[in-house]
Structure 1
Amino acid sequence: MTRHVLAAFVCAAVVLGMGTPLLVATADDTDGPLTVRVVRGETGVGGILVVATDPSGASVSGVTGPDGTARLTTTALSGGKYRVDASIPASMPDVKPAAEDQSRASLTEFVDVGGGKAVTLTMGVGGMDGPVQLGDRTWFDTDGDGVQDGDEPPLPGVRVQLLGCDGGGAPLAEETTDSAGRYLFGPAEGLQPNSCYTLRFDFGGVNTGPLPGSPPVEGLKWTVPHAGDQSLDSDVDPESGSVRVAIGPPGSVDHTVDAGVVGGLNRIGDLVWADVNRNGLQDQGEPGIADVGVRLQKADGTPVAGTSTGPHGQYQFSHLPDGSYQVCFDTAKLPPQYGDYQLTRQRAGAPGQDSAPDPATGCTAPTELTPSRTQDFTMDAGLAPPVNRIAALVWQDVDGDGAPGALEPGIAGVPVKLRGADGTQVAMTTTGQDGKYSFDDLPSGSFAVCFDLANLPQAAADFTPVEGSPVSGADPATGCTPQVTLGLGKREDTALNMGLAAPANRIGDRVWADTNRNGIADATESGSSGVPVKLLRAGGGEEASTTTGADGRFRFTGIPDGAYQVCVDRAALPAPVAGYQFTKPRAGESTKDSDVDLASGCAPPVAVGVGHRDESTIGVGLSPARNRLGDLLWVDRNGNGTQDAGEPGAAGVPVTLTDDGGRPVATTRTAADGSYLLDDLPDGSYRVCFDLAGLAPEFRGFHIAGGDPGCAGPVTVGPKPREDLSVRIGLVSASPAVVPAAQESTSGGGFPVGWVLFGVVAAIGAVVGVRWWKAAEPGA
């Protein structure tokens, strides 16, 4: 069979001239000269192109002279082992491949000129005047690309059966491949012209010891078929191990039926096909696509190898070490008839019958090859006919740089409207959990995307579009992008993004010297500069710190949403307020009073976020140190000594401070939260007493545990320490009496026991009530 590979060799020579890196080989000056002679009978045939290709893909070529001889210098190549191909030009239609015999080789042969060894190779051509002949070679496809390379070893011992056209019945003849992997069928084996046959190959009896990696026979498989030139690739169907061939008229010679075997190492592959109906599945009748670039890389993106799909869309990477790999498909350089096809939707069905790569990246998810999982042939890619599509992202621009970052989340639930060229609404959707949206199957035309800023989800209700960003294309005023046109040359637009930024959260106010000690920042009272202020997260930990300015102002800006406390450390106060105390909190208007706790120096927690971005009323009043004491009076319902949830402060209770002689020194009332402060006290020891008659009705009868039911102490202040702000008092209730239910006498005339107990309890209650009433009388 005539093989017209001249164009391919010329292209290879042009690529070599351009210095393509894949074809650059290290020169090997130890290789010997290679002489190729092409004869017809005994006569040399001139004008035949002869090419020698080394294992790297680099080649040298020559044309036979009038005597049929071409001398090829291989010193610029590498490897020592070469594939030699002779190509009959189209200008010689009467010249055909000749039958192979002891003196003449076929037009594709493999030679070794390593170590300076000179080789002369004689190839035969004829004119359809010899016997019919069928055969060629079996080999071990080391790189798994389906093409015979110069350094890939032959595979002797393969049994080849010649069967009838339908492949059934007893074999007509049988051969076993020789040491060069060759087999031949001719008239002696019953081969007839103008006939159809099936060749069946069986590698079950080969010796795999000399092969790379010495793979077990049970691990061998037929390589990918039809991956290149007919004389160089494998023709065997991987499933059946057979191929159907046709023999032409008398003199027909076919030395192109080769069979490649792979095995023993990891493999990844399979198919790139045209998903005509765009359903993501490999349906019957959908063709494979040739010449699609395929790249294999490690899971971290490190390149491993590259190839392109064969005539039927198949590809394979073999002899891979264990590890994690990704396959990436180059959709930017598709064959012309598929020029603007796009990757179809990912994982629409069973692996191996659907498309594996992510349409956004062109790469599959990583797949792991291990000793127990040596191959993955589910890395298929479907290319679908183009449809117009708009797809992009709405994200929270946390850092304000106008570009989505790896840690910046998408915003779900944003309404997105698609408008046509005339401004009418075409479609509407909302962003998904990842912030992405898409409009698919659009007609050709011009469109704008508008984001509904008035109906943003609750979590982003007060967010605003990023301004002046090349990535975020929405107009901050309208929420609409510029129009884009979809159609021939541009089927998809993925740039209509919108970045939304949250308004900056702010917490702060002022530290001032409360010289008149009224708890209010009066107009004449100046701010305190240089005061350290900390911002603590409500859940624990410091978020930020600062110091007050010349006017006593402080501010924390750009903090994340959440709850925080402002705290000031009295021990770190600078001059001239060193040693000052915190003034009494919540004494009046929230924008002018002090908010920090007297003892801890921390204000109550405040939350900033959506709907409340600015909390600038946390004042801190400082007053010159004087003796004072106080804290809290609350109702300790469970008597555990700790103010728990649901246990209120006792509001409006009169508080009297008495000295050792029981004389009143100072008075006040508890605030709404039960707090109190007795200020400007002389040095001394005191008791704090509460008039519990003013308690709310539901707490009547509650008292201070232990000792006097209305007083606590003694407490000492001055000169050191100046204050005691830990006089925290819980009011407890007397333990209720446990009264069993009344029982009737079983004697029939007895007085019920329950009534007896009731009378006892009532008598005790009357006595206690009289004593309490007398104690409450004025002057008692």
Structure 2
Amino acid sequence: MSLALASALSASLAVTGVASSVLPAAADSGDGNATIRVVREVNANGKWDQALEPGMSGVSVVLTDDAGRSITGTTQADGTVKLTPGNSLGGGKYRVEVKNPDKGVLFPGFASLRSDLIDPTVLSSNVEFVDLSGGKNVEITTSFWSPEDYCQKNAMLVTACMNPTIPPADPAPDSKRTLTSFPYNARGEYDQLTDLATTADTGTVWGIGYNKVTKQIFSGAYAKRGTKYGPGGPGAIYRTDPATKQTTVFTRVPNPGSTGHNPNANMDEAFGLVVGKQSLGDVDVSSDGKDLYVVNLHDRRLYRYDATQSTAATYKASYPIKDPGCAAPGDWRPSGIGIQDGKVYVGGVCSAQSTGSKADLRAVVQVFDPVTGQFTGTVMDQPLNYKRMDPSYEPAGRCFGSTWYPWSNVRPNTQDGHQCTEANMQNPEPILSDLLFETNGDMVVGFGDRFSDRTGWQLPGSDDARPTTTFEGGDINRACRGGNHMFVLDGNGGCTNNGTPEIREFYPGDTMGMHQEISEGGLALSKVETTIPFTAMDPIPKTGSGVRWVDRTTGNANPATDGNYLNDTFGKSRGIADLEVLCDEAPLQIGNRVWKDLDEDGIQDPGEEPVVGATVNLYDADGKKIGTAVTNERGEYYFDSTVTKNVKPEDLPYGKTYTIKMDNPADFQAGGVLDGWKPTRPNQGDNDQVDSSGETSGNPFPAVEVTPKGAGQNDHGADFGFTNPQADLSVIKIGPAKVGPGEDIEYQIIVTNNGPNTATRWTITDPLPDGVTNARTSNADCGIAAGTLTCSGGPLAVGESHTITVRANAPIPQQTVTLKNCVKVTGTEPDPNMDNNNSCVPTEVPPVPVIDPAIGGAAAAAALGGFFLIRRRRGNAGAAF
């Protein structure tokens, strides 16, 4: 390259900036900070309901700038973290990524379309974009959820009444209700009941589970003195269709014990010995509707059945529930089940029956992993010798104790040093009968009273026992995580004490008048409600059984208004079974964002703009359009039936494949929001939440398929990036300022791509000056026709240049002429700067004077500065390129 060419090229590159190195952006000391709150959503409404949706601690949050630099923080106990760019980041605009702490169990919560980030009670997606420039501070709230937490408002509750078969001369008729349902908001006496089954259908049951997929209720036989088994016997699990009110025997759990009722022998007194030891405990169904779990009280095993079938000839598997080290192996009495976040929790008590010592009473909860089929550890192991109520020993001989008491087979004659001679008695023997989990992870524990089930209400005396009128003494407790991550009961100081300094309890509302502990052990939890219902003695000021509600935060209740009275047959002893809420399956939300991928890397960078007003359509597996969305000011779109409400619930079930398409032709036509834009590279990197998912796959429009595998498994990764791949092409033409007549003229044409994208194809057009001859070039991609040089090439990367050399012979003018040679470059991509697409160079060609032949050639040549030509001998150099 000539020195002149090199100098010109260097000057050109300096102007375009191609040759300069790009340094990382300096931190902007004026940037504000971002406060990110992560909560656990439950109600699919796209809002942060502060009373229902607690903050999630320990969640990783990443703040990234346009240069790709990041800082990371972790949410604290309240679910918030503050991220400040400081000296680490810069540029003003940032991407916020909230990392899912438990993939496969938790999914993105429902997000709302929003035009700004002003209101922190509106839920954002887990990827958000914030502008902190100029000292602006931003507070946003995002969420995750477990779909099993979802429930509709005012869902139906179902329980079962227990009906006596003693005294033998006057048993309750078989037509009396067992299973019954009522709305969550029902209050009063027998309010809004719907009878679903009778004693003839089920006999006495305790555990109740609900399959929200098939919408079937399961109930398990229960051993209680003075009230008979149903047609399936002591191991029966019944299946009830609430729509048709038809009940059938689903299965018979093997080895449930063989002791039968004998109401004619001392009021079925002998049967009291097997209460809590034979038949079945709790029944529960996995949130996906596939598995039914039940505790066999007799062989102390967890049984697993296929809950998708109408009947089960046998179980899928059974698992021994390991003795946690009770005073004697026979003291281990598992019963309760809870299911949360894909794990099964099984609870029981060390009954202390072998020693009779309160010090040996313990409540234990173990964890079972359905995937491995193994119990993986213990999460609670708590003593049960704490004070629960104020004792009462008046009048003399009446025993109403203050604590839990060891299991026994007899009616005690003394209690805590007091003689017990009166018929009225409260001597609660704990059965850990039910387990639930609050949204913040706290455990709610339901305790039933075995003594109440093995003795009874207003029973006459016999040869073996005095007359007995037992008052229920169960409990509803809360257990919170301690320093070693084990759960600690409220009575042992593990949770907020809403009670008194002496009687520590989270739920002081489980009282009625003089009765300080009225729970009968059954629990239900709808996480979209502010209260928690439990089965109770005297749920209103009236002797009997039913359901009581307490506040989930304060634990308090209004005795006059927070109960529904359901059964009067067992007085103040237990007369009601477990409690279950009939929640619908969780809805779905899919979609998220359309943006302009300016650097064509397929990643949503903080400074890249959203596409506003673009149409997005949703199609089912049959190609039917079932929803339409238009991107908002932030480029967001969603399909759902609860927040955006642009899809019918029945059109968006899980387990189906849906196709999201950006197939509105008007968007891509002249004047459309995507005119001149095309889909960017899909599936770049390893984070589906920040890349582009739209693929053309030979179709004219980008699309993405989404297949939610389970209820509520929201997908916010259906993003579409578009690129308008601009390439600032520039051209420089370099040539001599002056040549002699007929001499070679050499031109250098330099095409440069100044970015920001690769130029896939470029073309230069160079109409050569009139009069030049023998034009030629060695470039294979060039051609000369009708006096015009045309060259094409590509691709040309950002910062890359391509040089073309062309030569021609100057004309032989009669007078000085200036050859003006102009070249133009064009490209396939839009060019943001057309001012550098043309370049011209002037070249002067002097004339050759007519010379008398008498004048010597050498002298003439010297006079003309070396140019020499005799008109009569006109010729052409004709040199090779």
TM, length-normalised to structure 2: 0.28
TM-score, structure 1 normalization: 0.31
Which structure ranks higher in relative contact order (CA pairs < 8 Å, sequence separation ≥ 6)?
Answer: 2
Q: Bigger radius of gyration, 1 or 2?
A: 1
